[in-house]
Copies of this chain bind each other. A is one copy, B any other.
Amino acid sequence: MTVRKLMQSISVDCVILGFDSEQLNVILVDRTLILPNTTEVVFSDLTLTGYHIYENEDLDSAAARIVKDLTGLENLPLKQFYSFGALDRLHHPNDQLWLENCGDVFSDRVVTIGYYSLLPSTNVNIIQKGRNAAWYPVTNAKGLAYDHDFVVEKAIEHLRYKFWHEPIGFELLPVKFTLSQMQKLYEAILGTQFDKRNFRKKVSQMNYVVPLKEKQIGVAHKPAQLFMFSRDVYDKTRKERFDFFV
């Protein structure tokens, strides 16, 4: 076992986003402070999956390690999106109490590198370890620890920007999806409504969205055709930019 020394001024926070065919969700971790030798709950709130980095790991590895430690999830496509270093980002009284009681001594200000990851939030098995991690609707993710409200906001702003300009949404859909699911996703992220016929016309130009010979099963209405995203076709045919709806 190698010795791992914390860098006490640098952390990584991960905004793990999921879509459940209705809304965007984010994985948050319970932060309940119980004073030692008592059972008194001093406060209880939620944080992003985040932790300090070690001296012998790079940023991407730190992000992957932190997510694995807190949720059990591995091999997520984590992408760095922004770094946060406001002087007061740890200065809320609860944050101070928490840091005083967690056993390590941190510098007054910690710069955090923000990462995000996208995945379908259904069928994702979060492994509980000590501190509970769970999905929460993004719209309810307010009053988070530290500056994590702001970090989530920036992540979603980043995501929305990318959505307008390239087809990144497929990671948020199941492997086999219907065009209605895809449309709902775009509408949820971009906050717009699209006409069904025009949306489909647009999608039919994306030849990396390939129709399967399968239909939905177990739905109480006409079953929809299933599609999948072909990274292969995508890499080969996509243009420098992505024209989406204006």
When chains A and B are docked, how far (Å) is the Cα of A240 from the Cα of B163?
A: 11
When chains A and B are docked, how far (Å) is the Cα of A86 from the Cα of B62?
A: 11
Please indicate the chain B residues that have their CB under 8 angstroms from the CB of A164 in the complex: 165, 240-241
Distance in Å: Cβ of A106 to nearest Cβ of chain B: 12
- Does chain B have a CB within 8 A of A83? yes
- Stretch with Cβ within 8 A of B (4 or more), from A33-41, A52-60, A64-72, A226-234: A52-60
Please indicate the chain B residues that have their CB under 8 angstroms from the CB of A57 in the complex: 87
Report if A10-B111 is in contact (Cβ < 8 Å); known contacts: A165-B165, A246-B239. yes
When chains A and B are docked, how far (Å) is the Cα of A107 from the Cα of B85?
A: 19
What mask results when residues 103 to 123 of chain A are scored 1 for a CB within 8 Å of chain B, else 0? 000011101010000000000
- Does chain B have a CB within 8 A of A178? no
- Does chain B have a CB within 8 A of A82? yes
Closest to A161 in B: B165
Indicate which residue in B56, B113, B239, B243 contacts A111 across the interface (CB closer than 8 Å). B113
Closest to A108 in B: B55
Q: Is the CB of B240 within 8 A of A243?
A: no
When chains A and B are docked, how far (Å) is the Cα of A246 from the Cα of B84?
A: 34
When chains A and B are docked, how far (Å) is the Cα of A85 from the Cα of B112?
A: 12
- Does chain B have a CB within 8 A of A9? yes
Indicate which residue in B9, B58, B84 contacts A87 across the interface (CB closer than 8 Å). B58
When chains A and B are docked, how far (Å) is the Cα of A246 from the Cα of B83?
A: 31
Indicate which residue in B9, B59, B84 contacts A85 across the interface (CB closer than 8 Å). B59
Q: Is the CB of A85 within 8 A of B53?
A: yes
Q: Is the CB of B83 within 8 A of A83?
A: yes
Please indicate the chain B residues that have their CB under 8 angstroms from the CB of A239 in the complex: 246
Report if A83-B85 is in contact (Cβ < 8 Å); known contacts: A10-B111, A55-B107. no
Please indicate the chain B residues that have their CB under 8 angstroms from the CB of A55 in the complex: 107-109
When chains A and B are docked, how far (Å) is the Cα of A55 from the Cα of B111?
A: 10
Residue among A57, A86, A165 with most chain B CB within 10 A: A165
What mask results when residues 1 to 33 of chain A are scored 1 for a CB within 8 Å of chain B, else 0? 000000101100000000000000000000000
A sample of 17 more A-B contacts (CB under 8 A), given A58-B86, A80-B83, A241-B244, is A7-B9, A7-B111, A55-B109, A56-B87, A58-B87, A59-B111, A80-B82, A83-B83, A83-B113, A111-B113, A164-B165, A164-B241, A165-B165, A165-B241, A239-B246, A240-B246, A243-B243
